[in-house]
Structure 1
């Protein structure tokens, strides 16, 4: 018997042929993207891409339940955040003092810190989702958010709310929110755009309805009981996370090799920062957002001071929510007809308009004019949000788009947190919100101007790439011609010797 085989010794002569055939087959498999995975000390052939190629998205079925769960997640998380202006007024009355000049600054910091933490945790949430999956991450996040909101309902001073509401509740919302977007790709492919539109519309629906609900609850049951009622939203969010049944295998290679944690190269993708266009985008977007969240926090208080406490101020948030949903549908469709990174110009226009509208808020002495401003602001807010994904795809490609958006959201956390407290500080010092809204309009205009550099930079990069390819072709052609000339010389030399 030949060692390591069950073939007789007389058949040893055919082994080289069979080995050559096996090596050729193995080479072909490796060329197709197959890999070797060690299992119990033996190497077995594994094809990580085969499952992705053969997988057929259901395009429905249980996916519709997942879509509704993700819609509830999007609505409950950002609906509560966008309605903080209603809670802001109640917090001022609950913990306020007429002699405390810094109250608005400290109260606004609660809401802005909460919104900022949602974005700040985004890069970390993407790693947890890769390691533990969508279901565990979402349910765990909703549980943490429920604990934070319940703890907030027992707080009797403003200070502890920075931790219970601004950090614990917000971190839970972040961990519950991001998996709701990832899981949609397990069930939909052809209909993914429509499904994403429906899911993101959840925040608009909650932004429209929640201010009225909160106003009635605050009037009838008070601040603390209202927080306990909101805990029901987070409990339903926990149940919604249980529906996130994964269908696709884990995209990370470490899950196939039995490793518990991914390598650092997968945790922190540095390739995205090699793109000059992405670096400008990652700077321009945060720079434009220093005044973005100011109307959501301070507009209700401004309306009370300008038009009286009896004014139906909740209708303003309703207007922003309605037109924001409409804007996402309209500009998302328009972006399909705009080529490449020129989509950035749509985002630039949205920032410029939002900046100008913020400056117009103090100029509105008629409540109807303020409604018109909020309608337009919501429309272009939807434009800004719906273009985040397509622009990221154009700048870094499909392979790196997930972490590109995650890091951008993390950078957005700083301006989202800083802007509203500064506006509250200016109100306390100057006696009104006029200067605060004027200044809130400057960062969007500045950030939009910075983003205008992206198409120019990307055009230069494409020209340089084409020139480099042309040079490579010229060098290759010269090498071929040189090799042909040497062959001609050798042939001539051979003929003369003969």
Structure 2
């Protein structure tokens, strides 16, 4: 090969989406960049998480107003959040499949528009059916298109600090709840529930620019072309792996109780005699504990002192016990002493639930490989949707039958404990990087050009740049 051409090849990557051949040199280590633009993706995922799960967690503050306006029971209004959770998680494989086929950026941007329209439509509701359609179906489907692609994209950018990055992104849930809980109560008092929903629609539209920040990343081990079959895009073949099947079963049981406080923690505080701002304080302190624990647990998990599957089982069990405490403390302490015990129980629950959250998604690359993490995230969300659909309405039914939420929180905690027990069947050790080994390459002949494994960031303004790919 002429020397000028070798010099041109040695200069870097072309403007195409895939690595170009380079002269035979010592292979560079392949893997996620573990930083760089990944921190921007983490910030975008932080906002996406806050504008989906964080907003949904605070929405329970509006349910008493909705129940009074439409003269319906707590069980009926609980179906709003239940449908939103169920649709968001059941349709998450759709978001993952579309992201696998066309990339996360356009999928998340469209999802932000749909979620915003759901709130705007619900602001003009004339019956609970309109709220079921607007918040439950339309906004829920919009959220389904944003969460799994964002978190899956983030997992592809990190290896050594993956759980910390995921934990940072998931603190958007707690931070949003901390800010939105009192803000939503203020909006309800000032503009009523219709005006509050309309303003929340404007806030939710910020999901669209967050999606624009999710630049795609090409990694070794990725398939040469996106799957064209819908079933292949969904990643259903992952269920043939024993470890993933165990994880999926345990997570489905956890989902049966994990989302009940999202819907009924604020109404539970209202039942104990707190006013609107007192209930908002309970939600806020739980959110503070949740947010702080996600960062601390993410850092702890990345140290490698305890295997991720064991941490997952331990903190899952603590979350179930935390819900038991939330349900029992008002009974043990009596109505005259609700303030301190209930706030302390909310903090304890927030700490345990926050520690569990990043581990659920941080363990996935080790189970399925980084190439399948987007699809696996969508499938896990779908399985948890069973709990998201059944848990809150069942909790509302028990409240209507017993007069309070004590039985609801006890049952929810039991489901989480059952799922955590199943996690014990996961392999003790998982691959730290989650990358499939690249195929072996024969030794090059003199002057032969071979592809060197690289991670390529596809920037909209120019060619991909070589990143630090140490795994």
Q: 8 Å contact 1:82–1:207 — kept in the other structure?
A: yes
Distance 2:414 2:364 in 1: 24
Distance 1:391 1:245 in 2: 23
- Mind listing any 5+ residue stretches in structure 2 that lack a counterpart? 1-18, 431-471
Distance 2:155 2:269 in 1: 42
Q: SS where residue 204 of structure 2 aligns? A: helix
Q: 8 Å contact 2:171–2:295 — kept in the other structure?
A: no
The residue that corresponds to 2:460 in the other structure is none
Distance 1:57 1:121 in 2: 30
Matches for 1:143-222 after TM superposition, within 5 Å: 143-184=113-154, 194-222=164-192
The residue that corresponds to 2:313 in the other structure is 345
Question: Is 2:64 aligned against 1:95?
Answer: no
Q: Which of the residues 51, 56, 71 maps onto 2:46? A: 71
Matches for 1:324-473 after TM superposition, within 5 Å: 324-335=290-301, 336-339=304-307, 341-363=309-331, 364-365=333-334, 366-454=338-426
Q: 8 Å contact 1:289–1:444 — kept in the other structure?
A: yes
Report the more deviating stretch, 84-93 or 398-407: 398-407
Q: SS where residue 214 of structure 2 aligns? A: coil
Q: 8 Å contact 1:343–1:391 — kept in the other structure?
A: no
Report the more deviating stretch, 376-385 or 64-73: 64-73
Q: 8 Å contact 2:115–2:205 — kept in the other structure?
A: no
Deviation at 1:108, TM superposition (A): 0.2
Q: 8 Å contact 2:260–2:412 — kept in the other structure?
A: yes
The residue that corresponds to 1:254 in the other structure is 225
Q: What root-mean-square deviation, in Å, do the aligned CA atoms of Structure 1 and Structure 2 show?
A: 3.2
Deviation at 1:107, TM superposition (A): 0.5
Report the more deviating stretch, 67-76 or 370-379: 67-76
Q: Which of the residues 86, 107, 129 maps onto 1:116? A: 86
The residue that corresponds to 2:265 in the other structure is 299
- Greater helix proportion: 1
Distance 2:378 2:171 in 1: 21
Distance 1:224 1:238 in 2: 23
Distance 1:451 1:387 in 2: 12
Deviation at 1:433, TM superposition (A): 2.5
1:193-246 per-residue CA deviation (whole Å, 9 max, x = no partner) reads 554333222221111110100000100111111111111212222223233343
The residue that corresponds to 1:136 in the other structure is 106
Q: SS where residue 450 of structure 1 aligns? A: helix
Deviation at 1:189, TM superposition (A): 6.2
Matches for 1:245-324 after TM superposition, within 5 Å: 245-246=215-216, 248=218, 251-255=222-226, 262-263=228-229, 266-309=232-275, 312-324=278-290
Distance 1:215 1:265 in 2: 43
Q: Which has the larger radius of gyration?
A: 1
1:68-92 per-residue CA deviation (whole Å, 9 max, x = no partner) reads 3332212111121110221212212
Distance 2:154 2:366 in 1: 21
Distance 2:387 2:186 in 1: 32
Q: 8 Å contact 1:355–1:444 — kept in the other structure?
A: no
TM-score normalized with structure 1 length: 0.72
Distance 1:197 1:430 in 2: 37
Deviation at 1:176, TM superposition (A): 2.1
In structure 2, do the counterparts of structure 1 residues 351 and 450 end up closer, same or farther at CA, with 3 Å as the change threshold? farther
Distance 2:39 2:377 in 1: 25
Q: 8 Å contact 2:162–2:362 — kept in the other structure?
A: no
In structure 2, do the counterparts of structure 1 residues 224 and 412 end up closer, same or farther at CA, with 3 Å as the change threshold? same
Distance 1:64 1:448 in 2: 31
1:465-493 per-residue CA deviation (whole Å, 9 max, x = no partner) reads xxxxxxxxxxxxxxxxxxxxxxxxxxxxx
Q: SS where residue 275 of structure 2 aligns? A: coil
Q: SS where residue 372 of structure 1 aligns? A: helix
Distance 1:63 1:311 in 2: 38
Deviation at 1:183, TM superposition (A): 4.0
- Mind listing any 5+ residue stretches in structure 1 that lack a counterpart? 1-44, 256-260, 460-498
Q: 8 Å contact 1:303–1:311 — kept in the other structure?
A: no
1:357-391 per-residue CA deviation (whole Å, 9 max, x = no partner) reads 24424424321100111111011101211111343
